[in-house]
Structure 1
């Protein structure tokens, strides 16, 4: 065959490589090629498979590649050749980071898209190397830099390649000069080449890096078994492809990348772990962008004495971080190590109108911007600005959020803010933006003040408040205020824009518009209770206080102090907040502002109630009530009455509290304030529950729900529905058929929709119990399982275990005892054993008191009996606990007692009773108890009784007990347990064969594979190690990564060994270090071997020796001897010999 770059290679494997660095490379095995009408066959290959693919033909993945595990798995799942996408490794399960599930490819192309510097090419190179290493593409692997950004591609720059130029490079790399093929026939020649390889069953992988458009890429694609991996800053939505979108790295992965890059420069560099706070700040200032992290690592690498905190301080002081994040060099692919250069190539692709909007967007306050606000900023209509924003998003310079919001990455914003713009242009845009915010906020407050009596004609068409269309900012207006179709829409806009509005207050002041700043701050203070609390409120209010004092504006100072005090209380700083509110009250009285004095009194009373200081809150609330009556302010009077009701609840004076709450509800109803009315009625309902007047409470909660519905407050409606359901459970005569379940179902859905996950669990738990009471067992299980899913998502293990226990009781209380007692026992056992194994969970369990008290609490009347309504079945369950039940129940009682380590002996007595009655699982636990006290004879007796009855767990434990006396019988029991599917027994048998060297490697792997597939970590690590030893590197690395990710020191060390053997030293050192930090002496030894300085070799071997590793002792002795430190060497050699004898 004719080779375009250096003649014909001899032998069965042929490799061609372009002479230009990193431009086009290919790895191929035995291709049969038809190009330009002629056939050319590569020399015939030996019949055996090559021992390893020639990964050197692809650009290497950047050294120190870390993170991106989900995205890498997603890409690799798509790089499975074959028309059906069958994976070359049966049983391999790779999860898609985008779709959330593994699956065969649905298209031959995969795109990796994202902003400049996010690591698209690095991910593509890593995935391609991995696919080739796993021998997925016997036809070869191509890499072409399309230079779509026009300046900083892997090839080192130049104009973007056309499709024809890309085809010429590919044909040349395939070994046939395109010179003899007419230009209009070269694409067809490339397609014939791919078709022939498909017919021969030799799929290829083609990496098309840095594509400018779908049009450039589409002619290069082909169906069949081939796979195409495309990277681009463009979204390439016109291309039929599986898309993987890269964003900034998660914080921990970004830290790991920074650490890896520094250790790649110097393996002993521990600045990231040594200066954790500074490293955190540095990563934040790099906005988790891989390119910025590489620049930071290079800068630190030049200055070994400089800490991450010092570099972070320097970056924080820079006016434009994007300019500061530059290093005078290029990376392995020829890209400049400069954030500004990366962003600049994308910026230069924009049209004039797009570039103008891009330059103006940083003038918007807040973390993101709505389409309507962007229109005001640019002086355009919504219809005009939307396609410009979409174009910026296509170029990865803007990220869309939902249907109508957009945000900039922090470094992109910094780059855009530094671009030149005229002062006039800046002032005009900022003025339009602030005016739009102030006018729209005023419109929203007007609608809210209308008490729901909204006239659609006076406020625009429906939907105008969402900005989802052209209403409000129509075709003929630029920067007008939005219009709202009712209070719900107005409140939603205020919540969505609250960060932007808060940030706009100091921005207006800085731009010389103090009047606008005061007006906007006044609007925000009027709806402070409606908006989320945050530290930003504190910062903005402090600034307003200072400006008011500078202007000697006493009324403004009082109002700002009130807002500040409320913000401090809402963020948990009650003492500071109360002090600010007392200052507000003092200033307002001095200025003679009666309205502000009343507002300050109410805010102070509320803060004192929140601080649980009823003695101080009462006079403030009473003074506020009298002032409100004098001023004829019924809304303020309603608020004061509500606070007085709360004060008397804290004083445990329920009668007086009820009087004030009734007055508060009446005043709120008169003022047509449904939210305040619902709040008073809800608190009154809780008072009636405390008095066990559940029927009256149900009536009050119904009214509460109705009031909150009128206020259109889903955050308030959901808990009110939950309270109503609890009252109806306690007073079933008040409930309509099916009303409780319907009420709880609606509450659950509302909690889910508003993101109140903890309250969602509460509603689901009550729903599960109620469904069980109504004998809807399957529905009850489904609700309980949903609650568990939410608990796990919240990361609340103690609550999860508690919920599991409650569900165990649920199953036994509310279902057929004869049929389901064992199921309930098993679930209760699982939950409580989980708790017994975790000190934190055990402590959580003890908070409930002794177990008998815990169970008794289920039958104790409660003000809100949501967790466990009483029943005859509960009484039956308690009688079982008294000792009159079946053997399984005695076993369960033993499990419950065993959750307290001090009551194991009492638990064993119950287990003996159950065992004497023939309950096999009790024998198993008695055996475990005996083994815990090292009574191996008693343990063997109990394990044998359970094992002979067919208990596989007992077979496994019996085998280990017999191993104590080296009884050959252990193998038979492990074999029986393994045949029954016990994964621990499979691992034990495999280890036995390995130690005795009496089984084939295939037999050992066959034992370990099903255990590994089931997630047994020891099996995963052992199988990975065995596969590593026999050269199955792809599958070995997948398994060892799973083991390492689980935090197993052996897994991390073994993964480090594999990475070292495959010449990825930086990653190997990373995993060895993690294993060493977990105490793995073998990893310490490996770190010593790979240390770049003798002192670090001594450090790691000394650490291993001091941990008792005899090999580390011998290595240390040899090193010390070479250094002439003979006395120390002799001491360590003696210790090594003694350790070996032991």
Structure 2
């Protein structure tokens, strides 16, 4: 017997369909079937079938339906014999079905088989299983069955069906069957017009079928339907896809399949997965919709008043053709940020593409945030990999405006110092709104950019008292005169009122009158008090009043915490500043947060308002210098801490290069330096503290401690490079270069120049990379630093090789090899030998290449250099491949991928994955080749490695062409040609030849696009 519920309820015995009778009888069978082999209570069945429209004798009616079903299902059963199919119990009824007798069970099994095929990399098998599963559906589940229970089951099964349909289409797209996908999706969209995923798939399928105009029209139809039915705009996925189709983004040429893309089936291809074990996607980041940026800070507690100002911030009724800008200006502590954040959070729904936020620290005692750094943060939030962020300020601003174009986003620029700091951060499109807070009126924004300005005044008396009431309770009403005096002494400034209120909460035994009198005495004592009633006087008085109530240890922690150069800090850093234990530092920070002198910004991390930071710095200069604990000494302890911790992390990550890094600080930083237990923990610490380390490098360079800037640069270079943190690397190494020149430290200058050159090489800026390495060589030669000269020569040779200048590259590597041997640098010697092997591959001298690499590998293994070993193995694999030794090649790539993932080298992993693709292509296995190159493209796009991106596009072009998808394959080849030509790589000639052959309809050599 078989029972079907995925459509009208039906049953068969063999090939004969059974006559089930009335709808209610079908309902009984259907509801029992979806709970097969379980007892369903009579009351549940009755309610599920009839709901509130119960017949007079519902129990008897149910019994009759069950009896007649038994007669149909078991016609040969003797009259009083117990049923073996439809059982009656005291609790209810149970339909007994064996495996495979119910279509929902078969549907689930086929789905599981389809997903297993995906996990195994069998796209065609997955498509077949999805097709079988979906063909089981003959209409709406439990069609025609009334009642609430049936509706619940119907909804659940329908969602499973639609999810399976989405996955099926993803697989069809991944197989290149774009026209078939269009046909399926037209029906799916018509049946489910509000399901945005189907509309996105239809747009993509049309685009991949060469029907770009229809793809754009599909978006317009989606917008019309969603606005008309629901009054909403299309979601993020649809809008991002629309923008990418408009831009003819080459990355769209291979469709995503949302976590189920093909992976390699065996050999090296089973390793062709990005970190975390996910199957590769054949798109760079951005195809999978990123969550919209939501960077707004938390709303302030007990926000009071400001109704008129909030209303004034609302969008004008008539949209402007230019970007809308509003400036909230006012004195320090008046609540500009609180007002802006409150309005921004209330209005967030008007900006579905997200909200960007940056604290520009315009009046911070340290350095304000440069526009370039703010732009880098915004670009990352908008989906640009940190490694792809352009180095120049103008380039970053242009990329930022391009990414914002057409999006409805809110940009909150907090605490700006000047128009010059704000102007590069302005979008170029009217769909965005910019909200700026500043103590300055920023008249230039009003005059030149048409900004609206809202001047924020102190709180009205009633709102000031209301804020105090919200913070300290009914004591305000018990002592109204004292509360009014306290508000006046705080100049009705929200920041001062909050600090004063916290002290009042901690002083429950004192009356408000006593506290107000104490504050009056403190304000009279302050030297900065003047007769003009400057609001800053009130703030200083409140700060001083609150500060004097701190225990001595917490007070000292407050003073020295203001010196920290980062935007936030943790207890370990504060322990280093103060010289106390991390436990005591943590206790002090909790106390300071309770007093509103610092504020939490995350798990175990704290920040400080710029006014409080300035106040703390002034106190440190006045008091700690007098006590012999100069702020400079505290900063040196902090620099020692970060340098020591960074060195410890790098010793775990790259132990073989320890001799290249500067030694750890000679003296203890005053607190225990974290010692990571493994590479994952080391990288996690570096990732968490990266922004602070960048800030410390800049701070030390300008605070009389340049050696810390140069040593941090030399310590972090490999982490910044292999992690793809190129924007941060440029900042750190740039500060180090300038600091070294100021200190006349030629060795440090050479190292910083070398590292700047490496980042330029990674980003495909070869002329710039050559310039840096030549400068480094000149500096090293002038000082007799043979080791640095060898490193620079080796790096110069790598760039020459990438440009196709093989004779010059070979000369550089041979000179580097001689210098490293002279210096006894076995790590450098191994790298020079490996680089000579790479050049031999370029020259098709594969036998010698294998020899060079075997020498290099032996030295890397002897020295425990996992990074060097991992970097050499892919090239050796290519040499074996060209010699026809496929198994040895596969083994090399297996080892390389495992090592790269272990040490977290994502740039190397992309290189190895491209090698996997090339091996699979040479073995005439284009589907596996496609998987390897797809994973490589994802990683190379994330790391910003232009060369490996081009290589991945070239491999995808070859693989797709071999699979018969010539149109999409050509698009990838064109993109490869563009990137290779842009960076000046010789592979562009091979790509041109391949494209010309395709135009002539000629077949191709599977290895003709292998770049080495």
- Fold shared per TM-score above 0.5: no
Task: State the TM bucket, normalised to the shorter chain.
Answer: 0.3 to 0.5
What TM-score results when the alignment is normalised by the length of structure 1?
0.37
Which gives a bigger RCO, structure 1 or 2 (Cα 8 Å, sep 6+)? 2
